[in-house]
A and B are shown apart, each in its own frame.
Chain A
Amino acid sequence: MAYSAEISRVSPTAFVFLIDQSTSMYDAVGDGKRKQDVVADALNRLLYELAVKCAKEEGVRDYFHVAVVGYGATVGSAFSGELAGRGLTPLSEIADKPARVEARAKKVPDGAGGLVEESVQFPVWLDPVAHGGTPMCRALAHAESLVAGWVEKYPGSFPPIVLNLTDGESTDGDPAPAAAKIRAQATADGAALLFNLHVSSSDAAPVVFPDDDAGLPNAYARALFEMSSLLPDHMRGYAASQGFRVTEATRGFVFNADIASVVQFLDIGTRAAELR
């Protein structure tokens, strides 16, 4: 059965995040926060939670290798600090080398029914960027080269997953062929997966994990839907447990995402069945 390979330290899997850093990402999402901040915050949070999930006494276990590629004025690694320029990086290195660690106040129960403020360490890997066009074809080609290198090195692994977060149309051509090349890469456990999320400035309701394009408002949305892989079984099961209506035709795709659906997209799209 496809998409059932064990994820372990000897057979890890890979996540490649593509983040749109075009000028329009400076605009606000429907609920007020800037799109650039929504995406950067959500990715920082995801990296935090992945590290915590994989943490054991001897350190963070490298069940995952992660790349974050920004595309806007340039296309390349969105990591900064010690990880600047890095492509697919083991999670333990990501955990040990955030760009900076901020002290943030967090309210925690005081044991007497109230809340007290506590200072907690909050690692930051990605800063919001919004500058330039939307060279999505180049970004997808960059992702494809990372995926191709991965499947050569780990031919039996759980297939790599590319998650593309964008707020608009590509400015360097039709991205469908580049998207198809990613999905054509494969390990023995199945084809590489490409999930797409469109984050919106409009107040229109999000379309989350649809199984057909009937409810999509325009040709651009339908094109992104076509570019998106089906959710594998265990992700479908997890999405269902989170309250989403899913079928075997459900795709890893969100249109007009708000803050909550950005978080849900990342949560479901990186859900691993079991870490061995």
Chain B
Amino acid sequence: MPLHVSVFADHKAGASPHECEDVAVVSAVDEAEAPVRLALADGASESMLASMWARRLAEHFAQACGSSLASGVAFATAAARAASGWPRLLADYQADRVRDGRPIAWYERDGLAKGAFATVLAVQLHGPAEPGEPGVWLAAALGDTCVFQVRDERLVTAFPLADAAEFGTSPSLAHSNESNWELVARRCRVHQGHWRPHDDFYLCTDALAAWFLREAAADRRPWEALRDLGTDALAEFPEWVAERRADGMRNDDTTLVRVTTW
């Protein structure tokens, strides 16, 4: 498939790198006929084991087939399958803690019983049937992790949120102990579109996504800076993020999955 995927991540300022609760998983980039599957999950910082749940979701959706992204019901059903493995993961985690001489403390029990929460965004890009034809892309999301499609210096798609004002309110989240997946299905968003050679895609967790939309609304072309990341033209990602935070971008774990096509 004529595309390249890069992942950039920086942890919240004031936290340690291992405390980052964003997880990005990319699969099938090197297989000629397979769709590229991308998943980006953002663990809720108030949850215990948020990053473990975010990883569970991201790994699950990076392996999921396209039909899982076809409807809210299909997406919620796939998320439910990810959640069905949670009790086993939790039991293994607790056993590991005992083995490490640090059993679960009293103040962790409530949080573990409540379960973990995370946003999740899954994107799949299918190759064109013939060279020069557009390909199909699918996306499904629960929460405020976003994907932006840019073509010819224009933002053509913003999913699932299109306005920076929509951030900050409590997003819908995937819950490891969910009991009502039918309700979750109604909160899931899905999208299907076409992509052409030289389209770029930017998957962003919420702090970066909100910044992107604010910049785009002010005609400041946020994709230009993101396109230059990892080249000599721009500082390393953590330095760039620190500058944006000084300018007002929210201090949070910040992850970008960039897809450039040709």
Contact = CB atoms under 8 A, between A and B. Distances in A.
Given A9-B14, A57-B49, A276-B12, A52 B105 contact: no
Q: Is the interface of A mostly helix, strand, loop or mixed?
A: mixed
Interface residues of A, number: 22
Contacts of B48: 55-57
Interface in B22-77: 45-46, 48-49
Interface in B213-262: 251
B107 A276 contact: no
Contacts, number: 37
Contacts of A101: 106
Given A56-B48, A121-B106, A8 B111 contact: no
A60 interface: yes
Contacts of A9: 14-15
A96 B109 CA distance: 14
Contacts of B106: 101, 121, 123
A52 B110 contact: yes
B236 to A, nearest CB: 23
Query: Chain B contact residues (Cβ within 8 angstroms of A): what range?
Result: 10 to 19
Contacts of A52: 107, 110-111
B251 A51 contact: no
A198 B126 CA distance: 67
Interface of B: 12, 14-15, 19, 45-46, 48-49, 105-111, 251
A6 interface: yes
B181 to A, nearest CB: 18
Contacts of A10: 14
B11 to A, nearest CB: 12
B107 A6 contact: no
Nearest to A98: B106
| Highest count of chain B CB atoms <10 Å: which of A53, A57, A123 | A57
A202 B252 CA distance: 49
B113 to A, nearest CB: 10
B54 to A, nearest CB: 13
